Structure 1
Amino acid sequence: MRLRLLGDSIAAGVGSTRREDTLGPLLAARLRAAGHEVDLRVHAVPGARSSGLSTQVRAAVASGVDVAVIVIGANDLTRFVPAHIGAQQLHDAVADLRRAGAGVVVATAPDLSVVAHVPPALRDIVSTVSRDYALAQQQAVIRAGGVVAHVEQVVSPQFAADPSLFAPDRFHPSGAGYRAIAAALAPAVEAVAARNHA
């Protein structure tokens, strides 16, 4: 099974001190435990916005892809990309991957209000903007035939309550944070993998 990770620094594993504690290897291990042989490639680029997905999609399709996992949105939010623009770019990426025969799982924009750098007075506004952006992404992914993994609903409370889930930069996940994200992503990835290899 050709598993490809696309997106930003979270998909690339920035913040973890060990490669095996990043999303790609963690998800590949789950799929291997379910009986799949897995060929993993990570096309994600730290700092990527949705506008950069098309390049990653071309690389994934060129290498062959059965299951694609996309994690995107944080950099769109920090760069104030309008939701309708980022969502359309994500839609197009998912649609291109689906046309190539891949099952696609997307983790949408995180709730940036849990990041320590956000002043308390702004957290409600940041949370609302994050949620609205993620909702636009979800609708776009579904229209394009992808699957939305509702990772944020599971992990945001965990990250808000447990500082150890953050790397020392207090923005990216630590190895423990990546394990929490992978655990929330895994059911959707396993379901898509099973369906694509039925």
Structure 2
Amino acid sequence: MRLCLLGDSIAAGVGSTRREDTLGPLLAERLRAKGHQVDLSVRAFAGARSADLRAQVRAAGKVDVAVVVIGANDLTRFVPAHVGAQQLHDAVADLRRAGAAVVVSTAPDLSVVAHVPPALRDVVSAVSRDYAQVQQQAVIRAGGVVAHVERAVTPQFAADPSLFAADRFHPSAAGYRAIAAALAPAVEAVAAELHA
């Protein structure tokens, strides 16, 4: 099973000191535990926005399961939701046409990041949620699956600073394990369908 991670620094594993504690290896390990043989590739890179997905999809080549994590940099760069969502839609549609099952983790709730002033947290949370909602609709239209990672991990990250790396923005190894646990059910489900 060719598993490919696309998207931003979270998909790429920025913040973890060991590669095996990043999303790709963690998800591959879970799929292997379910009996799948997994060939992992990572096309994601730090700073990527939805506009970068098209090139990542081209670079990925033939993929069975694509996991896309995108949206944080669109939010921090004030990319309009309809623009980023259309770019995400097109990437998911291209992957689906090429035969890949696609699981997407939409924009995180950036209000939990330490750099956000307390007075702005409610606004940042609302904007993050709205962006993720528009992304979700685009992914479903394109035939992808949305993993509701932010619902599961936002309370965890808000309550436990150890889930952040030293930069207080990216996840730590423990943070990546929390995200992988939230992503895994959707990834395992599409992988099981491929082998049904």
Q: TM-score range by the shorter chain?
A: over 0.9
- Post-superposition Cα deviations, 1:65-121, rounded to whole Å, max 9, x if no partner, equal 000000000000000000000000000000000000000000000000000000000
The corresponding residue for 1:180 is 178
- In the TM superposition, structure 1's runs of 4+ consecutive aligned residues that sit over 6 Å from their partners are none
The corresponding residue for 1:8 is 8
| Percent of residue pairs bearing the same amino acid type | 85
Tell me, yes or no, if structure 1 residue 102 matches structure 2 residue 97.
no
The corresponding residue for 1:113 is 111
Cα deviation for residue 59 of structure 1 reads: 1.0
Under a length normalisation based on structure 2, what TM-score does the superposition of the two structures give? 0.99
The corresponding residue for 1:155 is 153
Tell me, yes or no, if structure 1 residue 29 matches structure 2 residue 62.
no
Cα deviation for residue 168 of structure 1 reads: 0.4
After TM superposition, the structure 1 = structure 2 runs for residues 119-134 of structure 1, keeping only pairs within 5 Å, are: 119-134=117-132
Letter in 2 for 1:26: L
Cα deviation for residue 197 of structure 1 reads: 1.9
* Runs of at least 5 residues in structure 1 that lack an aligned partner in the other structure: none
- Post-superposition Cα deviations, 1:149-182, rounded to whole Å, max 9, x if no partner, equal 0000000000000000000000000000000000
Under a length normalisation based on structure 1, what TM-score does the superposition of the two structures give? 0.98
Cα deviation for residue 196 of structure 1 reads: 1.4
Letter in 1 for 2:31: L
Cα deviation for residue 40 of structure 1 reads: 0.1
Aligned partner of residue 57 in structure 2, secondary structure: helix
Cα deviation for residue 36 of structure 1 reads: 0.2
CA distance in 1, matches of 2:110, 2:123: 10
After TM superposition, the structure 1 = structure 2 runs for residues 47-126 of structure 1, keeping only pairs within 5 Å, are: 47-60=47-60, 62=61, 64-126=62-124
* Runs of at least 5 residues in structure 2 that lack an aligned partner in the other structure: none
Letter in 1 for 2:155: P
Cα deviation for residue 45 of structure 1 reads: 1.1
The corresponding residue for 1:39 is 39
After TM superposition, the structure 1 = structure 2 runs for residues 158-173 of structure 1, keeping only pairs within 5 Å, are: 158-173=156-171
CA distance in 1, matches of 2:24, 2:164: 18
**Which of 134, 137, 140 is 1:136 aligned to?**
134
